A and B are shown apart, each in its own frame.
Chain A
Amino acid sequence: MAAIEAHGLGKSFGGRTACRDVSFSVERGEVFGFLGPNGAGKTTTLRMLAGLFAPDAGTARVAGCEIAPGRPRGPELRARVGLLTEAPGFYDRLTARENLLHFAFLQRARDPKRKTEALLERFALGDHADRPFAELSRGMKQKLAIARALVHDPEVIFLDEPTVGLDPEATREVRGVVAELAAEHATIVLCTHHLEEVERLCSRAAFIAGRLVAIHEMRGQQMLRVDLAAPFQPDGVRPLCRSLRVSGNTLLIEPLAEVPEIVAALVGGGARITRVVPHRDPLEDAWLQLLAEARER
């Protein structure tokens, strides 16, 4: 069963539509991206899925809990999901440890004290645990906020703009934490407008611009870019490829066979190869095109 299934979710505030027709599913262990410009409805969708808002339209099932218009957003759903809010949202006068422990109790974590200590160590905050929250660096604050989202071992983790406003060093640290979670097969919905974050961390991404525009699969790691010294007709290797595009002296291949087999077939067919490199889908191009189409509509 999917961790998240959303069907036609929509929400308005005082007659202004924040989002509509949002339908997608996220498998367990998947890192799913939410891309969209500011005000596109990403945070509203996340808040509906995290049990903070009730939708005006549509239904969803998150971690086994039903979400529907008019249905009260129960504590059961909020206990099963972890939400990293856009601002860290901790109490300045309390220490990092006190803050995390407070939320561990509120989230009904099993053995809150042990869990708090474990997370402080995991995120390298142990040496700063007794400093007031206000004195922590931006990166530490954000790591503490991610720790809070994990303190009750949630089934689904929602991360709303985890690197917004961070300096490059803190951004790198936080992305490292998210990558670690992804490697542990946590189910994550990552809301961002940084394309490189989605390319690096997500298997799929939904483009949202008031409504869900498209879902894009990150196949970059599976594609090959073959640079040639001279033009070449690659018909002989097509059976080894799921797709093959020719652009001047460059071939973009989505392989079916192993890379050495494809390279051997190309060389055997007379291709003069200068370079073979993994290729990412041009997410930025796709994103800008989808955005332009959405605005035209």
Chain B
Amino acid sequence: MIGVILRKELLELRRSPVLLLSMISLPATVVLVPVLLLAWLVHAAPEQALAFVQDVYGVRAPGGVTAGVAAVLARNWLPMFLVLPIFLPIVLAAQSIGGERERRTLEPLLATPVSTASIILGKSLAALAPALAITWIAAALFCLGVDAVAGGMVLPDAAWLFGTLVLSPLLALFGNATAVVVSSRVLDPRAAQNLAATTVLPLLALLVVQLAGRIALGPRFYFVLAGGVALADVVLIRVAVRLFDRERLLTDWR
């Protein structure tokens, strides 16, 4: 049954070009803006860029001016690629329950013998799959762009690989589960999306603090984050199934 729900959700998404476009616009910005900025910086004022990197981040950039600046700045951009897998599924997951109710498709769905867990997992996978695919494509394009600017292979390094391959799916599940929990209680899909989107704020704060050179997030931080997020995922999925009150969803209009 999970597969049936997943297939339907993906079919609907494929037929919604505007929704797909809205999901692609943020990753496109996240890739293009820093790569272009980096390209301009290392070509227009390489010495100043190197001095800036050494001053702010307190590191000696390895492998020459261009590669050094590219490596340091690009690595500090990683948290942005951890925000994407949280943010992207929220767009879909916030619509999952409230949207069905708004379109009056929820009652026929609940009238079938499908279990609550199957509905939630089917819809979650449908939100996760495109979000992760877009994140990974964006990450690959970012690495290619940075490497092209640096004139050698700077990314991906170990932190990037761990971040995109391990942390991203966990964070995507976190964003999705949060949106499903919110969506099954706050039935207006727009309100659910806005509320669920606040979960990206801590990561955005980390990004800002790291870019400002106040902290340096190392491998230990990312390992701890992965463990914490995995635990939160399990709890949130269980909460989502428990909070899915079929009667309330059909009768409460708040």
Query: Considering the chains assembled together, what is the distance between the CA atoms of A86 and B107 in angstroms?
Result: 9
Chain B residue numbers with a CB within 8 Å of A79 are 113
Knowing A13-B251, A91-B105, the reply to whether A103 touches B112 (Cβ < 8 A) is yes
Binary interface encoding of chain B residues 112-131 relative to chain A, with 1 for a CB under 8 A from any of its CBs, else 0: 11110000000000000000
Chain B residue numbers with a CB within 8 Å of A50 are 111
Taking a contact as CB atoms closer than 8 A, the residue among A53, A78, A90 that contacts B105 in the complex is: A90
Chain A residue numbers with a CB within 8 Å of B12 are 91, 93-94
Chain A residue numbers with a CB within 8 Å of B8 are 91, 94, 98, 102
- Chain A: which residue is nearest B16 at the CB level? A93
Chain A residue numbers with a CB within 8 Å of B105 are 89-91
Instruction: Determine whether the beta carbon of A94 is less than 8 Å from that of B250.
Output: no
Query: Considering the chains assembled together, what is the distance between the CA atoms of A52 and B246 in angstroms?
Result: 7
- For window 132-146 of A, CB contacts with B under 8 Å fall at 132, 145
Query: Considering the chains assembled together, what is the distance between the CA atoms of A157 and B114 in angstroms?
Result: 18
CB distance from B51 to the nearest CB of A (A): 54
Instruction: Determine whether the beta carbon of A92 is less than 8 Å from that of B103.
Output: yes
Knowing A102-B4, A106-B1, the reply to whether A75 touches B246 (Cβ < 8 A) is no
- For window 61-88 of B, CB contacts with A under 8 Å fall at none
- Chain B: which residue is nearest A79 at the CB level? B113
Taking a contact as CB atoms closer than 8 A, the residue among A85, A89, A90, A105 that contacts B4 in the complex is: A105
Instruction: Determine whether the beta carbon of B108 is less than 8 Å from that of A148.
Output: yes
- For window 183-234 of B, CB contacts with A under 8 Å fall at none
Instruction: Determine whether the beta carbon of B114 is less than 8 Å from that of A106.
Output: yes
- For window 86-111 of A, CB contacts with B under 8 Å fall at 86-94, 98, 102-103, 105-108
Binary interface encoding of chain B residues 46-64 relative to chain A, with 1 for a CB under 8 A from any of its CBs, else 0: 0000000000000000000
Contacts across chains A and B counted by CB atoms under 8 Å:
77
Query: Considering the chains assembled together, what is the distance between the CA atoms of A87 and B103 in angstroms?
Result: 9
CB distance from B195 to the nearest CB of A (A): 24
Instruction: Determine whether the beta carbon of B11 is less than 8 Å from that of A94.
Output: yes
Instruction: Determine whether the beta carbon of A75 is less than 8 Å from that of B104.
Output: no
- Chain B: which residue is nearest A85 at the CB level? B107
Instruction: Determine whether the beta carbon of A78 is less than 8 Å from that of B113.
Output: yes
- For window 4-41 of A, CB contacts with B under 8 Å fall at 13
Instruction: Determine whether the beta carbon of A89 is less than 8 Å from that of B112.
Output: no
Instruction: Determine whether the beta carbon of A94 is less than 8 Å from that of B104.
Output: no
Query: Considering the chains assembled together, what is the distance between the CA atoms of A13 and B249 in angstroms?
Result: 12
CB distance from B193 to the nearest CB of A (A): 20
Instruction: Determine whether the beta carbon of B108 is less than 8 Å from that of A85.
Output: yes
CB distance from B41 to the nearest CB of A (A): 44
- Chain B: which residue is nearest A13 at the CB level? B251
Query: Considering the chains assembled together, what is the distance between the CA atoms of A148 and B105 in angstroms?
Result: 13
Question: Is B110's beta carbon under 8 Å from chain A?
Answer: yes
- Chain A: which residue is nearest B114 at the CB level? A106
Chain A residue numbers with a CB within 8 Å of B16 are 93
Binary interface encoding of chain A residues 267-292 relative to chain B, with 1 for a CB under 8 A from any of its CBs, else 0: 00000000000000000000000000
In the complex, which of the residues B5, B105, B113, B114 has the most CB atoms of chain A within 10 Å of its own CB atom?
B113
Binary interface encoding of chain B residues 6-26 relative to chain A, with 1 for a CB under 8 A from any of its CBs, else 0: 011001100110000000000
Instruction: Determine whether the beta carbon of B107 is less than 8 Å from that of A52.
Output: yes
- Chain A: which residue is nearest B104 at the CB level? A87
Question: Is A175's beta carbon under 8 Å from chain B?
Answer: no
Chain B residue numbers with a CB within 8 Å of A253 are none
CB distance from B26 to the nearest CB of A (A): 23
Chain A residue numbers with a CB within 8 Å of B161 are none
Query: Considering the chains assembled together, what is the distance between the CA atoms of A2 and B134 in angstroms?
Result: 55
Binary interface encoding of chain A residues 120-132 relative to chain B, with 1 for a CB under 8 A from any of its CBs, else 0: 0000000000001
- Chain A: which residue is nearest B110 at the CB level? A52
Question: Is B140's beta carbon under 8 Å from chain A?
Answer: no
Interface of A toward B, CB cutoff 8 Å: 13, 47, 50-54, 73, 75-76, 78-79, 83, 85-94, 98, 102-103, 105-108, 132, 145, 148
Show 29 residue pairs from A and B whose CB-CB distance is below 8 angstroms, ordered by the A residue: A13-B251, A47-B250, A50-B111, A52-B111, A52-B247, A52-B250, A75-B115, A78-B112, A79-B113, A83-B107, A85-B104, A85-B108, A85-B111, A86-B107, A87-B107, A88-B104, A89-B107, A89-B108, A91-B8, A93-B12, A93-B16, A94-B8, A98-B8, A105-B4, A106-B109, A107-B112, A107-B113, A108-B113, A132-B15
Q: What 5 pairs across the A-B complex have the smallest Cβ distances?
A: A75-B113, A93-B15, A87-B104, A106-B112, A89-B108
- A-B contacts besides A85-B104, A94-B11, 10 pairs, CB < 8 Å: A54-B247, A83-B111, A86-B107, A87-B107, A93-B15, A93-B16, A105-B4, A106-B1, A106-B114, A108-B113
